[in-house]
Chains A and B, each alone.
Chain A
Amino acid sequence: DQQVKQNSPSLSVQEGRISILNCDYTNSMFDYFLWYKKYPAEGPTFLISISSIKDKNEDGRFTVFLNKSAKHLSLHIVPSQPGDSAVYFCAAPLPTGANNLFFGTGTRLTVIP
């Protein structure tokens, strides 16, 4: 059973516009969430994270929003750049025990120049 879900397998956005990638989770025990970006032939690269004590975390062009009541988080990229074209995974570890990450299935973002 997928505990972290990304229901949009792909997203296309014009350069300069906002990209919004969505993620839903089912396990209410999750309290820390991460976004990773993956280029072909490379491993996932850590992008940004958020703890459940916050509802927003910003780092440059990247902002993650967390809605705990809806069990939903989103990653906003603004302005989008062609170099942002990649697969984006959201992930969460269980809050106790070892740092076992549960990944969503990913969303392929294409930024059109």
Chain B
Amino acid sequence: DTEVTQTPKHLVMGMTNKKSLKCEQHMGHRAMYWYKQKAKKPPELMFVYSYEKLSINESVPSRFSPECPNSSLLNLHLHALQPEDSALYLCASSQDSQSRNNQPQHFGDGTRLSIL
């Protein structure tokens, strides 16, 4: 069982829709991440939140808008997506976001997003 919960598991949306992906963890972790994974490719980092503040945005288009309402929740708001945005979106968390502390990231099962 994963300790990082993502909803929904699947999402199909049109290019003009607005939807949100949700992620929740109750491990007391203070860093949360969004990754995008295309088929047969490794996950690629999109955003990092550290102590509820955005610390990294890996040049992600503005049609993806992250939000961290509190230390347990992470949302990804979607608007005007393109067909090439269809992918598996993974959320992860770790105790903190500092690499020197060697903390593994724990992943949710992802939301499989399809853009029509």
Contact = CB atoms under 8 A, between A and B. Distances in A.
Nearest to A2: B42
Given A43-B110, A93-B99, A100 B56 contact: yes
Interface residues of B, number: 33
Interface-centre pick from B41, B94, B103, B107 (highest chain A CB count, 10 A) = B107
Contacts of B50: 98
Interface stretch (A60-68, A76-84, A103-111): A103-111
A70 interface: no
Nearest to B41: A105
Contacts of A25: none
B99 A96 contact: yes
B16 to A, nearest CB: 28
B102 to A, nearest CB: 5
Contact of A100 (B4, B48, B106): B48
A74 B96 CA distance: 27
Interface string B26-41: 0000010100000011
B99 A97 contact: yes
B97 A98 contact: yes
A10 B79 CA distance: 37
A32 B42 contact: no
Contacts of A95: 99-100
B42 A51 contact: no
Given A43-B109, A44-B43, A103-B42, A98 B102 contact: no
A51 B58 CA distance: 26
Given A98-B98, A100-B45, A105-B41, A44 B104 contact: no
B99 A43 contact: no
Given A98-B56, A101-B45, A43 B2 contact: yes
Which 3 A/B pairs are nearest by Cβ-Cβ distance?
A: A103-B42, A43-B107, A93-B99
Given A49-B102, A98-B97, A99-B103, 5 more contacts: A42-B110, A46-B107, A96-B100, A99-B98, A105-B40
